[in-house]
Structure 1
Amino acid sequence: MKKLVLSISMSLLFIAVGFAQKSNRTSAFMYKQKGQLVEAKEAIDKAVQNEKTKNDPKTWLYYGEIYYAIATSPLPQFQKLDSTAAIKAFHALQKAKKLDEQNKKHKIAKEADEYIKKLSNVFYAKGAEVFKKEDYHKAIEYFEYAYKVSQELGKFDTTAAYNIGITGVLGKEPKVAAEYLKKCVDVNFHDPKIFIYYNRALQQLGDTAGAEAAIKEGRKRFPQNLSLLLEQAQLYLERGDANKLIASLKKAIEKKPDNPSNANFNFLIGKSYDDMGKQDSAEIYYKKAIQVNPKFFEAYYNIGAIYVNKAAKIQKEANDLPLSENKKFEALEKEANANLKKAIPWLEKALALNPNDGPTIKGLKEAYARLKMNDKLKELMSKQKK
């Protein structure tokens, strides 16, 4: 009789233990519903370690929901429970779906996906937060999780891939940057900056040929975009291929003489000649740029700068003369002032287009003062005080 009683007692004990094991999961859910996240976390952490409940998809669903609540809580006492709560929530929800599929119950996948979808905003927010602090490595991690969320839901998140790419370039992690920017290129993400950063990532990797190919593809897809054109110009200039750039731009102008982009093309040809020290040719193309676009501020300013720089060079030559060469000094000073006078109309036109441009204002002030154009100087000074 005693043996029978013992057997019954042992059976009740096993039932009680099994119930206790599942009660951790139930308690976790109830605590979460009441907003008691400390207790909910403690209970669900036990449930996912327990042999009886750790392979149950519902356990991992609850784990994901509780850790999502921790990750999104505005209260510091809950936030400090786990700084990686969002990441743990994502992995838990993935596991819940996997176990649900293995068990062929298909009861919780929809609910898990709802939470996974909401995690996207969490990862974006956390990524943006650390990005502002210039913690680019951590930002990449969060943006990658935003990307993984879309993959889990059977989608492609170009914005997440784009963010990873830009952050990788800024954070000097070109390998990951190039990988994700290539994904954006492959799906025809409609933003020319993709090609700018893709080119930079490839340059950081030392792939000069790939960088040039990326810019060419960008120019092909966005032929009107000035930023891409400038990026290509920079690439050619860094490689010492100014002549190659000039030749390609001249060919583009010949091909489409009525193209509005010819203003930019002519400007870049002028800038290339300018950088090569061929100022006469530079001025010709700056003027061509103005013919196409009469409001091209940079072209007006650069022509003015050509004459200002000429004047400065001649004046330095004059100042370096010995005192005995007074006549030559006067001749050179006169020539310098003549160049400075030529600069003024171009700088004035530039200032009319951009009234607050500091370098233009400074250049005009110095020219007016040097040439004793006191009325002009006074007028300019009075405008700056308003």
Structure 2
Amino acid sequence: MRKLSFIMILILCVSMVNAQKSKVTGASNYLTSGKLDKAKEAIDAGIGHEKCVAWPKAYLIQGKVYQAIYESPLPAYKNLAEAPLKIAYEAYLKCMELDVKNKYSKAIKAQMTNLIPDYTNRGVQFFNVEDYAGALGAFERVLEIQELEMFKADNFAVDTAVIFNAGLAAQKASNFEAAIKYYKKTIEYGYEGAKTYAYLSKVLKDAEKAEESLTYLHKGFELYPDDAYMIVELINHYLLGPNPNEAVEYLDKALALDPENASYYRAKGTVYEKINELEKAKEMYKIAISKDPKDYITQFNLGVMQLNKAGTAHKVVNDIEDQKKYDAALKDIPKLYEEALPYFTKVLEIKPDEQNSITYLKEIYFRLRNEKPEYMKKYEEFKAKLEKM
């Protein structure tokens, strides 16, 4: 009885093998004729009896079908599977594992070769919709495929663009460890020059590796001293740090390369403002505006500087104990506040809804409401405007 049962199981298994082979052949035929829905249905059914047969060709056809689904321009076919490239890649690996006689090695290599641009394009698609983890996974798969033994003899050129993009995707996904790894690898191959050093420095800083971050920033500058991108990164580093005066050296370098760039003069003005050299700051801001009359940020900075000057003077007056001296000094204060008005007004000419400038104008006009009748009207105007925002 046991022998009979074994024979029945064996017959059933052989029957299933034949059914599987028939499904796989059918899937291959449907694939050739471009009927991907039928091909998928057939291969899904044919691949479902793994315990009875380990037929490498079945996985080769499965990979081809799912790769064709990804590559199809027709939405009806493209939407047949959620992750067709993953299924295709895993199917090819399974085929390689089972194909001990290397019967399908050339076919697998051809398909794997086509997977490289497929996964590269998929990475770009993920990146463009801001799925940065997905983009990283796709770019890493490209690198993984290129490292397969079958490609060793081909001496493929290192795909530095994919390595760089993997770093960029990792950075966007806040995967600092992966970003550092791929940016350092990109630097090894000299790809993207100064930009890679700047990106690596930023990631290292975000990963709380400040010392190493600064090392790469300076190394990048040493190698690319005339690269504007590198110079700007150093400017920003020092401008936002505890020693903003150290940014002046790099700002001067930037201005030598691009003397018409208003943002460099504005940045230099910011440095001087931070180190309390206010006249130099004002001079730089004025030059920035002359280079770019639409630069509302510099107009705003000048307004704030003047407002701070008025506020400081007002505090000094408030500390005067002698009434006559106090009254005399107080008369000069409104004029100082009035001198801030043109800057904030100019900001609104350039950017009408700049809320901070509207707030400052409301406050200044309220402070000056008793100086001129129109100032009270202006206060009401900006108060109403703020309430509507």
TM-score by length of 2: 0.68
What CA distance in whole angstroms lies between the structure 1 residues aligned with 2:36 and 2:261? Answer: 66
Q: CA deviation at 1:190?
A: 5.3
Whether 2:264 is the aligned partner of 1:265: answer: yes
1:166 to 146, 165, 168: 168
Asked if the contact 1:117/1:149 (under 8 Å) is kept, the reply is no
Pick closer, same or farther for the CA change 1:15–1:367 going to 2, 3 Å: closer
Q: Percent identity?
A: 23
Task: Calculate the aligned-residue CA RMSD, in Å.
Answer: 4.7
Check 1:74–1:195 CA distance in 2 against 1; reply closer, same or farther (3 A cut): farther
Alignment of 1:297-376 (within 5 A): 297-315=296-314, 327=324, 330-331=327-328, 333-372=330-369, 374=374
Q: Which runs of 5+ in 2 are unaligned?
A: 1-10
Cα deviation code 1:258-277 (max 9, x no counterpart): 84256443322221222234
**1:270-309 equivalent positions in 2, closer than 5 A:** 270-309=269-308
Q: Please give the per-residue CA displacement for 1:296-336, whole angstroms capped at 9, x wherever unaligned.
A: 433332122101122234445667x69x8655654564444
1:181–1:194 Cα contact (<8 Å) kept: yes
The alignment status of 1:106 with 2:124, answered yes or no, reads no
The CA distance in 2 between the partners of 1:195 and 1:71, in whole Å, is 35
C-alpha distance 22-38 of structure 1, shift in aligned 2 (>3 A): closer
Query: Is there any run of 5+ residues in structure 1 with no aligned partner, and where?
Result: 1-11
Question: Match of 1:59?
Answer: 58
Please tell me whether the aligned partners of residues 123 and 146 of structure 1 are also in contact (alpha carbons under 8 angstroms): no
Give 3-state SS (helix, strand or coil) of 2:49's partner.
Answer: helix
Q: Within 5 A, what are the aligned runs for 1:166-315?
A: 166-185=168-187, 194-216=196-218, 217=220, 220=224, 223-225=227-229, 229-237=231-239, 239-250=241-252, 256=256, 259-260=258-259, 263-315=262-314
Q: CA deviation at 1:26?
A: 2.2
The residue that corresponds to 1:377 in the other structure is 378
- CA positional deviation for 1:147: 5.2
Cα pair distance change 1:35/1:328, threshold 3 Å:
farther
Report if aligned partners of 1:119, 1:149 keep a CA contact under 8 Å in 2. Answer: no
Which position in structure 1 is the counterpart of 2:45? Answer: 42
Question: In 2, Cα distance between the equivalents of 1:271 and 1:89?
Answer: 56
Matched positions, count: 356
Q: How far apart in 1 are the matches of 2:368 and 2:192?
A: 52
Q: Is the 8 A contact 1:28 1:44 kept in 2?
A: no
Cα distance in 2 for partners of 1:203, 1:74 equals 46
Q: Is the 8 A contact 1:286 1:299 kept in 2?
A: yes
Cα distance between partner residues in 2 of 1:252 and 1:125: 36
Quote how far apart the aligned CAs of 1:146 are: 5.1
Partner Cα distance (2:96, 2:84) in 1:
18
Query: 2:137 aligned with 1:141, yes or no?
Result: yes
Change (3 A) 1:329 1:71: farther
With the length of structure 1 as denominator, give the TM-score of the two structures: 0.69
TM-aligned CA distance change 1:247 to 1:191, over 3 Å:
closer
Per-residue Cα deviation, 1:332-363 (whole angstroms, up to 9, x for no partner):
64444222222233334444444443333433
Post-superposition shift, 1:200?
1.3
Query: 8 Å contact 2:232–2:254 — kept in the other structure?
Result: no
2 CA distance for matches of 1:102 and 1:341? 86
Give the whole-Å Cα distance in 2 for the aligned partners of 1:252 and 1:64. 53
2:309–2:336: 8 Å Cα contact kept in structure 1? yes
Contact map agreement 2:225 2:231 (CA 8 A) in 1: no
**In 2: Cα distance, 1:191 partner to 1:362 partner:** 44
State the distance in 2 between where 1:366 and 1:288 align: 28
Q: CA deviation at 1:191?
A: 9.0
SS of corresponding position for 1:240: coil
